[in-house]
Structure 1
């Protein structure tokens, strides 16, 4: 089923001249754009300390999620769908294994961090961006759907771990959110 859904999503690649460049752009600049939006949260005018805490949580979850992925890659060596003949690749080949998707991990960790901090408008915006990034990775042919779902799961787990370990009322948090 994973192969069939991946193939179906990727089957649109190369068929729509307007969608291909959009998906390529999202897959290339989606995560850096999300990082930029998180950084810009530092200067929020509403509930500044809480939003700053959420931005720090997002950054920590981002880093933790990608670190977890590196551990997973030591044990799971899944070839990319374009190497298995499942997808048509629209971007340059990747040098690492397919599972889990770092892009999905990074974007979902940010979205979940903002959701866990009870900032619903921001969380919805980040979830929408994470969805587009994940979809773009399958569309451009570099990931299976389950690679994206696995990466999203890692991002969620990382955000939950950060939420449990980095408390807003701690001395460290008060110090960090007071910078600038």
Structure 2
């Protein structure tokens, strides 16, 4: 079923050049854009600094979890198995889980857990679009981006449970600059 849904989404690729360009741009620039927006929160109010710090920690933790998973799970990419047509350069690592989805959802869920709902919804919308773009351009299965979303959400939850706002380390970190 994962392959069938992935193929269905990717079969839209190549139909409308404008959509192809938008999806390629999302897959390549979505995460750097999200990181830049998170970084801009550093110069906002203290609650936004804490949210930016938590998002950064969740981003890093999520990617670290992915590296551990990649050592154990060796899933070929969908273009390697003939499920999709690739629109971007091939990747050198395994397919599951998606680092892009992990990073995007780590940021979105971090802001949701910090009670910043409008920002969380905006980040969530971008996270969904970035994740779908990874399937559209043929580099991931839908299950890969779903697994990445789960890893990102888990990382954000772990950071929320362990990194308390206002503790000594948090005050030090958020007082920088």
For the criterion TM > 0.5, the same-fold answer is yes
> 2:111 is matched with which residue?
114
2:24, 2:99 → 1: CA distance?
16
CA deviations over 1:58-92 (Å, ceiling 9, x no partner): 00000000000000000000000000000000000
1:115-130 equivalences in 2 (<5 Å): 115-130=112-127
> 1:74 is matched with which residue?
71
**Structure 2 SS opposite 1:29:** helix
Listed as ranges, the gaps of 5+ residues in structure 1 are none
1:53, 1:17 → 2: CA distance?
41
**Structure 2 SS opposite 1:74:** helix
Structure 1 residue ranges (4+ consecutive) displaced by more than 6 angstroms after TM superposition: none
> 2:171 is matched with which residue?
174
TM-score, structure 1 normalization: 0.97
CA deviations over 1:103-141 (Å, ceiling 9, x no partner): 000000000000001100110010011001000000000
> 1:13 is matched with which residue?
13
Instruction: Give 2:84's match in structure 1, choosing from 76, 79, 87.
Output: 87
**Structure 2 SS opposite 1:141:** coil
Offset at residue 176 of structure 1 (A): 1.2
CA deviations over 1:30-50 (Å, ceiling 9, x no partner): 101100000011122xxx111
1:109, 1:116 → 2: CA distance?
10
Across the aligned residues of Structure 1 and Structure 2, the Cα RMSD in angstroms comes to: 0.6
> 1:26 is matched with which residue?
26
Offset at residue 17 of structure 1 (A): 1.1
> 2:96 is matched with which residue?
99
> 1:143 is matched with which residue?
140
TM-score, structure 2 normalization: 0.99
> 2:2 is matched with which residue?
2
Instruction: Determine if the alignment matches structure 1 residue 164 to structure 2 residue 161.
Output: yes
Instruction: Determine if the alignment matches structure 1 residue 49 to structure 2 residue 42.
Output: no
Listed as ranges, the gaps of 5+ residues in structure 2 are none
